[in-house]
Amino acid sequence: MRILFITSTRIGDAVLSTGVIDHLMRAHPDARFTVAVGRVAEGVFARMPALDRIIPIEKKRFGLHWLGLWRDVAFTRWDLVVDLRGSAIAWLLLAGRRAVMRGGRRPGHRLLHIAATLGITPAPRPVAWFGPAEAAKAASLLPNGAAILALGPTANWVRKVWPADRFLTLARLLTGPGGALEGARIVVLGGPGAQERDMAASVLAGLPGSIDLVGALDLPQAAAVLARCALFVGNDSGLMHLSAATGTPTIGLFGPTPASEYAPVGAKALAVLAHGPPGAAPMGALSAAQVAGDAASLLARPAMEAAL
């Protein structure tokens, strides 16, 4: 069985789509997948079982990237084409079945929209794929011993970034005497590039004993590192979604973006909202004490069986 899966250009949306692929792999053990995905997010699928090929999509003017994708896939007979981009390409291919997600924003969590495209209920929880090499690298970076608190102080939009002093206060509250992760080591994670490094700089400077992995990992390696952590706390970002997908207890911090659409989904995942209008609150309206309290509650609760 041949399946073409067209997913997002963004890491977070790509991670949210992994649950549907995992569902399809379980339903069709003989299936082989071709995944078309934005280049920045292709690492989400790099270690995926049953993968034949990744086709990176790079946006071009006048939608010419769709023409390039069509040329890559037009001469294959597909048993199923799943298009989460809502394009017309699925209708221009030889396919036994097509599932095309409606474009545009609408109420409800993105995960539900993805699952509804294939009529899957309940929506399957995202997964994170990495292999033995990534697991070994993660073990060398974060050896067994003290628990690890992971912080994600970066995001793709500056208004989504929680102030650095709050991350520093949170780290002290969680890892200091009486904290929910007393004695834990701290790792700081972020993506590649100068912007991510600048966003993380103040947090790293305020935590001189922390492990600096900002820009140091590809996505499968980041997943393996996150899987070894006791807790991740970070801004609304692709890294947040990847953490939740590994099953690591994850807290996503939300202010000017809607948690109702993009809250992290995992066995232990929680969106903590800044005070103010949902989806329009400033990140500065979220206190470290609130996040620390919510983190302690999250760590104490049992893992959830269902996603959404």
Cβ neighbours of residue 76 closer than 8 Å, sequence gap 6 or more: 2, 4, 34, 93, 94
Residues 216 and 85 in one domain: no
Residues 145 and 278 in one domain: yes
DSSP-derived pairing of the beta strands 2-6 and 32-38? parallel
Residues 82-102 have a mean pLDDT of 94
Residues 87 and 153 in one domain: no
Residues 37 and 184 in one domain: no
| Whole-angstrom distance, CA of residue 35 vs CA of residue 203 | 36
The CATH number of whichever domain residue 68 belongs to comes to 3.40.50.2000
pLDDT at 262 > cutoff 60: yes
Least confident of 44-48, 105-109, 165-169, 289-293: 105-109
Domain count, the chain: 2
Residues 173 and 105 in one domain: no
Residues 89 and 142 in one domain: no
Q: Find the domain containing 15 and state its range.
A: 2-117
pLDDT at 240 > cutoff 90: yes
pLDDT at 106 > cutoff 90: no
**pLDDT value of residue 308:** 66
Residues 99 and 220 in one domain: no
Q: For 269-302, write each residue's pLDDT tens digit.
A: 999 999 999 999 999 999 999 999 999 999 999 8
- In a domain? residue 272: yes
Residues 248-270 have a mean pLDDT of 97
Q: For 60-84, write each residue's pLDDT tens digit.
A: 886 788 899 999 999 999 999 999 9
Residues 45 and 94 in one domain: yes
Q: For 195-218, write each residue's pLDDT tens digit.
A: 999 999 999 999 999 999 999 999
Residues 288 and 169 in one domain: yes
Residues 144 and 258 in one domain: yes
**pLDDT value of residue 305:** 54
